[in-house]
Structure 1
Amino acid sequence: MQKLMVILISFFTSPILFAGAKDRPFVQDYSIKYQVSPELAGARFSRLLIDRNGVVYVLSDFGVARTYGKTLVLDRSFRPLARKHTLNLGLFQGNLFYLFPERLLSNAEAGRYLFHLPNYRYNDFEINSKGEALLLGDEDFLLLQMNTGEKRSLPRPPGKQRSRPVAAAGAFYVAIDSTIYRIHGQKPLPFYPVRSHKITALAYAHPRLWVGTGEGYFALNAQTGEQVLSLQTRLPWRHITCFVPSKQGLWVGTTRGAFLKKTTGQTNYYASKRWLPDDFVIDMAPDANGNMFILTRTGLAKIAFREMTLAEKARHYQHILRSRHIRMGFCGETRLRIPGEVATGEIVDSDNDGLWSAMYMAAEAFRFAVTGNPEAQKNAWETFAALERLESITPIEGFPARSFERIGFKFADRDRWHPTADREWDWKGTTSSDEFVGHIFGYAVMYETVAKTPQERQRIVAVTERIMDHILRNHLYFIDIDGKPTLWGRWSPEYLNNIPFTVGDRRLNSVEIIGALQFAYAISGKQVYRKKAFELLNRHGYLRNIMNSMKNLRYTDHPLGDEWNHSDDELAFLAYWALYHYAFNDSLRQKFAETIDDHWQIEKIERNPLWNFIYASTGARDYDLEGALWTLREFPLDMVDWRVNNSYRKDLTLLPANFRNQESKELLPPDERRLMRWNGNPFTLDGGASGYSERTGETFLLPYWMGRYLKCIE
């Protein structure tokens, strides 16, 4: 019987056979943040430039600074200039120019560029490709021919607010209040009046002059003044501070982050401390490799780009997880004492150590099945041992703890813990269906992929039997140390069948227990599990519960019916693995495929790779492979849980309050929303933990390796 069951399992869980997607390189963006040296603490930054040698310069009211490694420090490279009061910086032919109160100079060309000026008369300048410099002051402008030294004073147009000057095709442009002036000849001439908005930024890229305002941006033909792009307002944020046209598209700095408007029409938004020191962008500058340096009020960051495959990305998360998140085999969260500083991290217990660790264990099991890597096999068994001990550490046979820790070091929910008899350990009770689903899913994947010997399989059989026997012995409840059912460990008919069909728990818990009974029967051959499953399916209506359409869920006057529970989506899809692959017969398997399809049709807008690949494992051909790959590629490399806000964005269509708590019509990419596991709502616009924790990365690893195992990704 046991041998027959193994053969059936192998058949039903073999990878899908239709073609997947090649793991082709894509462009991965990530942020490198520069430490600001203590000598610049409190400095006001105003300008950012990169010279032809790749040296990054920043102008501050403390002096000129530059980067050394990943630190921004005051620049003392040139002793005669180090302590001088620098009013502004500029570039000509890639060389740095300094504007001091009484002179404009450069170290380029053996220092031959040196022009004396009236003291403190001019405070800004720009140099065009012809070697003409336009200097701006509060009283007049000055046009300087750098080859001859000839100077010509130009009248300054009236007005208060002035933009930085822009050089373009032999002319200069500057905005004063709401008018753009063109300087080409004897005096500045009005070029374009902006009647309703004050101009905040200008930039030139042939043939367009980009114009930023407090309400968006537009573009003009730089020669004729014709408006060639209307005012763009559907933007992440409208108050523009600077532009950088590039081959990628138009980079736009704002008072709430920066964004790249790609030539394809897509928008990449960079805001929050995941990307920037703060969100008020002062200036931007590209380097020779296409990376973008962004200067904010409090510091400097580089948005870097590199080609990467999903396999390389998986290795990135694997390194983070293995080096910073393994606690006695658990895949554990790290608490950071200093926001964003992973060196200050300490691994702590969580409410769902069992679930998250089971998902990581499954990822390593799939990795072993795909690659044969012995380290993956070793890692999977290491985590299995932790899950196995969750059950053995409690004094209640078959009742798994949520977590355990050495006595005296429990972290979360301290009132839920109990000491072991030897007083060496604490274990956490109130175990929920989350842990149960994690155990069954993880054990099923382990049995299919990693357990190669009778002894290894028996370990999985034994712990599964103990958990299932506890549930059967206690009338389909998890019974805690107080002798009472836990709040969320309930699968009995008297509990579930008193929940309305319009509430998801009735369907979900039926899926969970039937899938688990099927799996327990398949690996043990014990008829008690099969008998109980059919009793629930037929006599108690669990098949009807399972087949209840997700479209029926709605607000219901019931303690569990006030909103859509996205955590339940995660539990359902994980439970579908055992429900479908271990179905007792083809008829049930077909029905289960239909109910999984019903659920996926609602969830497909989330482009969730885990949901998609579990759905694909049923043989479904309409799963959203492109959406799954998009989510994996857009997953942020930074696993620190930063606070992220998007509800203020002007490029989103906000929705009224609704049952699913979908806050916007548009689905933002993972690197623009708060970091979350698959139990989170991807349409939540605001949230995060202000940088005080680092997530583990199993959220990426499980769908990636499952996709590889199923040959969705090749």
Structure 2
Amino acid sequence: MKFTCTDGKWEQFECMKEKGQLCEDGACIDPWHYGNPTFGTCPNPEFGTQETLAQKAAYYDDIAARLHIHPDLKWAAGATLKKVEVACADGEEGPCYAPIKSDLEATYEDVESWHTGENDGLWSALYLTSQAYRYAVTKSPEALANIKLLLEGEVIRMKITGVPGLFTRQYIPPHVPGIACPDPETLRHRYTTDEEKDDNQWVQIREDGCAWVVDRVTDEWTTTPGDMTEPHCGLDEFAGWCWLDNVSQDEYAGHMLALGAILKLVDDPEVVETVKDLNTQVAQHLVDNWLYFIDWDGRMTEHGRLQATCLAGFPGFLATLALNYILQGAVSSDDANIWHFYNECLLRKGGKRCEGWPYQVEEKYQNYLNSTGLYLGEHDCLSNWNNMNMILCAMHNLIWFEQEPTFRELYQDTMVEHITAAPDTERTMIKQKNAWFNFAHAAMKKLGPNSDGPAFETVEQGICALKEFPATKQQTAKDTVSISEHYCNTRLDGSDAQEPFSVAQRCIQTFMWWGDPYNRRTCSGNQYYYEVPGDYLMAYWMGRYYGFIPEDL
């Protein structure tokens, strides 16, 4: 709280309630800047690259915009480059091939095939998040252009479903080289509806602007599968496109992290209005459907359930996602009904259930937060890294957007004690050599007065991870089996080591921070294939924004 003297009177200003900040020396400042801390720089990383952090960021920002984003797709994707025949080396039998261009020159026009999948939206949104932080630090016109282009993709990703607030997992426009919808004849089964709604099926948009699928009972193309009585139309602008239904929590974790970061960090009016609209649509969809995502066919999506006691996940995990998504929508819209849903239906600040609440046995959502279910099995070996990342995405933004001190501190305590630094937990997040985990923890933990201060060691370990991050995301051969011993079986019967591997030792993945860092595996190289560098860029630019990484490091 700060006081200012105006017209001879002291005026009280509560920095946290008004701006989400702390008061220091009579000014409101962001919590992570309180006390102007200076962090260690990890001078001697074991597997450090010769490039500086800034040099790697410059390379990755360049290749991401140049190679990984096709302007007609409007999302970031992994890419396999075209190849050309070249002279063979001495003793090598022909024909011999090489990428059409080097990674320093190749553009989206040099792509042979785009690597698309059911989590396109998640991975692209995490890269989009990196650009929001980059823009906040640098005001880079290129970062803003990237944000605007990928936001167009976010709008399409929701609009193509024809359901406000509902993102698709994956969409494919016609006539983009290197990517195409599943063939409706040879891959007819990909468009066939399933009885249990536990598969992700493709939806075809035809010239009539309606959604077409193959009915599982009649085996005929139709606009009214199952119990639908009216066709799902009005999608004329997407004629010739296809999209994948049955969206999941995974997708929303990335979308909402990105939309929240952009709202907090980007000052472009057009961008802000777009983000506010998307946040509002998501929250309104959840309000209208009592915390469930309802698909285009009127059925509940398999992994789109955020009601805390629905048994689709641990109550604390689901409650965190629900609280974050509704709060972002409330802040974006300032809509009284969405605020009421957050304050009275979820938190029950008035002390009783809100009118119409259908889940009679449920408690206040803050009462569930401790039940995250993240660390499972002996030595935490049955843990689910998808859940770790999803809940951290949501908790990061929930803390960021909550400005009422009591609830903000509750969320911060939950994050530290049950998510990122859980005591008596062998594999808690900040022990995993994961820069994203470490920086999120350090930025959103309680800071300032009556706290234990900045997370100096955690931040420096995050910097070590970035220094050891590969200087390219070209697919290279790796082997963590031969350098470790089996410690335990994972939930999917894989093999884990006792200690986390450095990011330098692990197989290149779409988003390196998302996977199990203890996993023992081998992978082959592919000189044509490059993954999106959203992982390095998101952690790096977060570190820059929060003051953990100096510009010259």
State the TM-score, normalizing by the size of structure 2: 0.69
Match of 1:582 in 2: 401
Residue 670 of structure 1 aligns with which residue? 503
Shift of 1:662: 7.0
Question: After the TM superposition, which residues 164-313 of structure 1 pair with which residues of structure 2 at under 5 Å, given as runs?
Answer: 307-313=50-56
Residue type of the alignment partner of 2:478: V
Inter-partner Cα distance in structure 1 for 2:32 and 2:132: 17
Bigger CA drift: 330-339 or 672-681? 330-339
Change (3 A) 1:687 1:477: farther
Residue 685 of structure 1 pairs with residue 504 of structure 2: no
The structure-2 alpha-carbon separation of the partners of 1:482 and 1:690, relative to structure 1 and needing over 3 Å to count, comes to farther
- Helix, strand or coil: the match of 1:594? helix
For 2:21, give the aligned amino acid.
Answer: F
How do 1:543-622 residues align onto structure 2 when only pairs under 5 Å count? 543-548=366-371, 553-554=376-377, 563-583=382-402, 585-598=404-417, 599-601=419-421, 602-619=428-445, 621-622=454-455
Residue 576 of structure 1, CA deviation: 1.4
- Structure 1 residue 11 corresponds to structure 2 residue 37: no
State the distance in 2 between where 1:552 and 1:21 align: 29
Contact residue 352 and residue 435 of structure 1 kept, 8 A: yes
Q: Distance in 2 between matches of 1:463 and 1:568?
A: 23
The aligned residue for residue 369 of structure 1 is 136
Q: Give the drift of 1:707.
A: 0.6
CA contact (8 A) 2:369 2:414 kept: yes
Higher helix share: 2
2:173 counterpart of 1:354: no
With CA pairs under 8 Å and 6+ residues apart, which has the higher RCO, 1 or 2? 2
Q: Distance in 2 between matches of 1:374 and 1:347?
A: 26
CA distance in 1, matches of 2:503, 2:254: 24
Distance 1:435 1:319 in 2: 25
Secondary structure of residue in 2 paired with 1:427: strand
- Establish whether residue 324 from structure 1 lines up as the match of residue 67 from structure 2: yes
CA 1:337 to 1:376, structure 2 compared with 1: closer, same or farther past 3 Å? closer
Tell me which residue corresponds to 1:525: 334
* Partner secondary structure for residue 670 of structure 1: coil
**Secondary structure in 2 matching 1:625:** helix
Instruction: Report how far residue 319 of structure 1 moved.
Output: 2.1
C-alpha displacement of 1:417: 1.9
Quote how far apart the aligned CAs of 1:399 are: 1.3
Q: Tell me: CA distance 1:630–1:310, structure 2 relative to 1, closer, same or farther (3 Å).
A: same
**For residue 430 of structure 1, what is the aligned residue in structure 2?**
246
Tell me how far apart the structure 2 counterparts of residues 644 and 510 of structure 1 sit (CA, whole Å). Answer: 38
Query: Is the radius of gyration larger for structure 1 or structure 2?
Result: 1
Q: Distance in 2 between matches of 1:435 and 1:425?
A: 20
Change (3 A) 1:400 1:643: same
More strand by share: 1
Superposition deviation, residue 315 in structure 1: 1.0
* AA matched with 1:695: E
Distance 2:532 2:488 in 1: 34
**1:75-114 C-alpha deviation (Å, 9 max, x unpaired):** xxxxxxxxxxxxxxxxxxxxxxxxxxxxxxxxxxxxxxxx
Residues in 1 aligned to 2:57 and 2:405: alpha-carbon distance in whole angstroms: 36
* 1:550 Cα offset (Å): 5.0
Which residue does 2:181 correspond to in 1? 410
Conserved in 2, the CA contact under 8 Å of 1:349 and 1:410?
no
Q: Deviations over 1:507-557 (max 9, x none)?
A: 2221111011111112221122232224233453321221226577448xx
Match of 2:78 among 333, 351, 369: 333
Q: Does 1:449 align with 2:265?
A: yes
Tell me the C-alpha RMSD between the 2 structures: 3.2
Q: Provide structure 2 residue ranges, at least 5 long, that are not aligned to the other structure.
A: 1-13, 23-28, 84-96, 102-110, 192-200, 210-235, 354-361, 422-427, 447-453
Q: Distance in 2 between matches of 1:333 and 1:552?
A: 31
Separation in 2 of the partners of 1:554 and 1:592?
Answer: 25
In structure 2, the residue corresponding to 1:669 is in which secondary structure? coil
Tell me if the contact between 2:283 and 2:328 (Cα under 8 Å) persists in the aligned partners: no
SS across alignment from 2:301 = strand
Contact kept, 8 Å, 1:22 with 1:713, in 2: the verdict is no
Contact 2:42/2:461 (CA < 8 Å) preserved in 1?
no
| TM superposition shift of 1:336 | 5.2
Identity between Structure 1 and Structure 2 (%): 22
In the TM superposition, what is the alpha-carbon distance from 1:348 to its structure 2 partner? Answer: 3.6
Q: 1:388 aligns with which of 141, 155, 179?
A: 155
Q: Distance in 2 between matches of 1:665 and 1:381?
A: 43
Shift in alpha-carbon separation, 1:363–1:356, aligned structure 2, 3 A: same
**Partners of 2:203 and 2:272 in 1: CA distance:** 31
Q: Are the counterparts in 1 of residues 443 and 546 from structure 2 also a CA contact under 8 Å? A: yes
* 1:81 corresponds to: none
Cα 1:15–1:5 shift into 2, 3 Å: closer
2:230 aligned residue: none
Q: Is the 8 A contact 1:342 1:694 kept in 2?
A: no
The answer to whether the 8 A contact 2:49-2:470 is kept is no
The Cα offsets for residues 327-386 of structure 1, whole Å up to 9 and x where unpaired, read as 332111114577984756422422122111211111111111111111111111211111
Counterpart for residue 275 of structure 1: none
Aligned to 1:632: 466
Match of 2:540 among 672, 691, 704: 704
Contact kept? 1:5, 1:525, Cα under 8 Å? no
- Structure 2 CA distance for aligned equivalents of residues 477 and 536 of structure 1: 14
Show CA shifts across 1:287-343 (max 9, x none).
xxxxxxxxxxxxxxxxxx974221111011122212211033211111457798475
Native 8 Å contact 2:375 2:383 kept in 1: no
- 1:583–1:589: 8 Å Cα contact kept in structure 2? yes
Contact 2:282 2:325 in 1 (8 A): no
